Structure 1
Amino acid sequence: MVRVSRNRKTGPIPVTTTSANSCPPTCGFKGNGCYAQSGPLAIHWKCVSEGRRGYSFDELLLEISTLRRHALWRHNQAGDLTPEAPGVIDGRKLTRLAMANRGRRGFTYTHYLPTPANRIAIRQANRLGFTVNLSAESLRQADEYLDHGVAPVVVVLPPSAVKATRTPAGRHVIVCPASTGNADCLNCGICQQRDRTSIVGFPAHGSGAKRVEAIFFKEVRP
Structure 2
Amino acid sequence: MHSCGRPQRSVAAAMSPSIFTYHFIRISRNAKTGPIPVTTTSANSCPPGCSFKRNGCYAESGPLALHWRAVSDGERGGSFDALLQDISTLRRHALWRHNQAGDLTPSSPGVIDARLLNRLAMANRGRRGFTYTHYPATPKNEEAILNANRLGFTVNLSAEALGQADMYADRGIAPVVVVLPKDTTKPVRTPAGRSVIVCPASLGNTDCLNCGICQQRERVAIMGFPAHGAGAKRVEAIFLKGALW
Shorter chain as denominator, the TM-score bin is over 0.9
Kindly provide the amino acid, as one letter, of the partner of residue 108 in structure 1. T
Q: Secondary structure, in 3 states, of the residue corresponding to 1:16?
A: strand
What residue ranges of structure 2 are gaps of 5+ in the alignment? 1-23
Name the structure 1 match of 2:87.
64
Match of 1:25 in 2: 48
Residue in structure 2 matched with residue 152 of structure 1 by the alignment: 175
Q: Size of the alignment, in residue pairs?
A: 222
Q: 2: distance between equivalents of 1:221 and 1:101? A: 38
Question: What secondary structure, in the 3-state scheme, does the structure 2 residue paired with 1:210 have?
Answer: helix
- SS, match of residue 150 in structure 1: coil
Code of the residue aligned with 2:45 in structure 1: it is S
TM-score, with length taken from structure 2 = 0.90
**1:128 match:** 151
Deviation by residue 1:104-124 (Cα, 9 ceiling, x = unmatched): 000000000110000000000
Partners of 1:63 and 1:55 in 2: CA distance: 11
Deviations 1:165-219 (A, max 9, x none): 0000000000000000111000000000000000000000000000000000011
Q: 1:15 aligns with which of 22, 34, 38?
A: 38
Provide Cα deviations, 1:90-149, integer angstroms capped at 9, x if missing partner: 000000000000000000000001100000000000000000000000000000011111
Q: Which residue of 2 aligns with 1:42?
A: 65
- After TM superposition, the structure 1 = structure 2 runs for residues 52-201 of structure 1, keeping only pairs within 5 Å, are 52-201=75-224
Calculate percent identity across the aligned residue pairs.
76
- CA displacement 1:46-86 (0-9 Å, x = unmatched): 00000000010000000001101100000000000000000
Aligned with 1:77: secondary structure? coil
SS at match of 2:201: helix
Q: 1:213: which partner in 2?
A: 236
CA distance in 2 between counterparts of 1:146 and 1:124 reads 16
SS at match of 2:87: helix
Superposition TM-score, scaled by structure 1 size: 0.99
Runs of 4+ in 1 over 3 A off after TM superposition: none
Question: Structure 2: how far apart are the matches of 1:119 and 1:65?
Answer: 25
Structure 1 segments unaligned to the other structure (5+ residues): none
SS across alignment from 1:180: coil
For 2:77 and 2:32, the matched residues in 1 are separated by 22
2-structure distance, mates of 1:26, 1:196: 27
C-alpha separation in 2, matches of 1:179 and 1:61: 29
| CA deviations over 1:29-51 (Å, ceiling 9, x no partner) | 00100000000000000000000
State the distance in 1 between where 2:224 and 2:170 align: 17
Q: CA RMSD in A?
A: 0.7
Q: What letter matches 1:94 in structure 2?
A: L
Q: Post-superposition shift, 1:221?
A: 4.4
